[in-house]
Copies of this chain bind each other. A is one copy, B any other.
């Protein structure tokens, strides 16, 4: 893999000086333009063998571009807050906003490389790690991010001779060594792991660039040129795509007015039995026993570090808020948090759409309740044509991947769709308009959404079909009668927590 990299190319100081000014002007100009219109985030992964000048590369980029819009990240051993969430939480929370640059030492590869090079992981587990990484990069790139991955290479012999390089550089003065960036294993073990990664994660949208680092001047020019060219062509493609997308969306909105949306072939909503009712007395009794049970389970979950993430979705006025409140009253307020999802803040808008959900994940043992969720991507954003078809279609697998990471990290993932029929909804809307203290609950948007009922129905049914893995299935809740809905939700949460806690106990017994 690295054979062709060692070119033996050298660059004199004079040649470097001649090339550098134009490169710098270009880079600053590109950074400025991208920043000014908050076009897209730029993610630069810098990796390589020790002594190849990784630290110098980071310093060079920080010095030559405007460091105010550059954040540099290195992931040491995870903090306890990081260990409490899925592995990728720390990468998600570090992502640069649109218009900014994130420089990553070893990116998200460091842990996997170290584990493989030190033989602490199996080849199969390593391959799975790389697959997850590729999916992560794919997700970011599909959202518009520019991803540039640089591998700074030295052959074995070259690495040995580099160790003696003294610290003063003719052009930059003092030069930081790579000492702060140790290689996790011997040359062969490390470069083998790296080579496998480079093969597995070199995609069109996140290619690796192999750079000969034997000569500092040549390496610097190569890095700067690679980044400059990538920014230039990415900007062009990005603008072209943005324009095309705007056109498509405009067309879709127009077409929408002319044609009726198709009916879903797999109409799961139609099969929900909305006729059941429950007396107040039966409800009161059922409610109390379940509250007590849930309280005990949540205590046990807290002690066991078992997290719960619940997404509440459903028609407007289906009773999401009420169901959520009934559930939380049984819990200790220190163990859960409610996250309302409405219009994103400007910081959220400047990131990938999943970023705002990642950022709200609680620590281990807690319950996070989302009042509306990431499913807005395949519901309102689809129906209102805020994003093109490819984006919401892609979102299914992105969402499945997100939930799979939660489930794999000791998290019970539950998703509720509260279903009411059109008559019941109309009744509730009118009631809200009449009742003074419910007045704020009903807005223009609600009436507007109602007029798009058929389009939503299709989107909801598609969503069920595409995002119901075993570890995070949808639960369709008949909500025409509130008692029925609330007790059913209780039962599902209780059952899921019980199963997860029993599963953990079994696992523990097996291990001891």
**Which residues of A are interface residues toward B (Cβ below 8 A)?**
25, 28-29, 32, 36, 55, 58-59, 62-63, 66-72, 74, 79-81, 103, 105, 167-168, 172-174, 176, 180-181, 284, 287-288, 291-292, 295, 299, 321, 324-325, 328-338, 340, 345-347, 363, 371, 436-437, 440
Contact = CB atoms under 8 A, between A and B. Distances in A.
B288 A66 contact: no
B332 A180 contact: yes
Given A79-B81, A437-B25, A330 B67 contact: no
A346 B167 CA distance: 45
Nearest to A329: B63
Contact of A334 (B180, B324, B333): B180
B338 A68 contact: yes
A67 B103 contact: no
A334 B105 contact: yes
Contacts of A59: 328-329, 331-333
Contacts of A72: 333-334, 336-337
A381 to B, nearest CB: 20
A288 B345 contact: no
Nearest to A439: B32
A106 to B, nearest CB: 10
A321 B64 CA distance: 11
A69 B488 CA distance: 25
Contact of A288 (B103, B174, B291, B346): B174
14 contacts: A55-B332, A58-B334, A59-B329, A59-B333, A63-B325, A63-B328, A69-B340, A79-B80, A103-B333, A105-B334, A173-B284, A174-B291, A180-B335, A181-B334
Nearest to A72: B333
A63 B330 CA distance: 10
| Residue among A68, A288, A333, A363 with most chain B CB within 10 A | A333
B105 A333 contact: yes
A68 B425 CA distance: 22
Copies of this protein in the assembly total 2
A284 to B, nearest CB: 7
Contacts of A181: 332, 334
A368 to B, nearest CB: 12
A41 to B, nearest CB: 15
Given A58-B333, A176-B330, 19 more contacts: A59-B331, A63-B325, A63-B329, A67-B325, A67-B338, A69-B340, A70-B338, A79-B80, A79-B81, A80-B80, A80-B81, A103-B333, A105-B333, A174-B295, A174-B330, A176-B331, A180-B299, A346-B346, A347-B347
Nearest to A28: B437
Contacts of A180: 299, 332, 334-335
Contacts of A334: 55, 58, 72, 74, 105, 180-181
A142 to B, nearest CB: 25
Contact of A55 (B63, B333, B346): B333
A268 B105 CA distance: 43
A333 B81 CA distance: 23
Contacts of A74: 333-334
Contact of A345 (B32, B55, B172, B347): B347
Given A79-B80, A347-B347, A62 B328 contact: yes
Contacts of A174: 287-288, 291-292, 295, 329-330
Nearest to A97: B345
Nearest to A173: B288
A216 to B, nearest CB: 15
Contact of A440 (B36, B67, B172, B347): B36
A355 to B, nearest CB: 13
A180 B168 CA distance: 60
B321 A66 contact: yes
Contacts of A436: 25
A329 B295 contact: no
Contacts of A81: 79-81
Nearest to A100: B340
A58 B337 CA distance: 12
Nearest to A74: B334
Contacts of A437: 25, 28-29
Nearest to A24: B437
Going nearest first, the 8 A-B pairs with the smallest beta carbon separation are: A68-B340, A174-B291, A58-B333, A74-B334, A72-B333, A180-B332, A173-B288, A63-B329
A211 B196 CA distance: 66
Nearest to A68: B340
A351 B287 CA distance: 39
Nearest to A76: B334
Given A32-B440, A331-B176, A337-B72, A67 B324 contact: yes
A288 B166 CA distance: 13
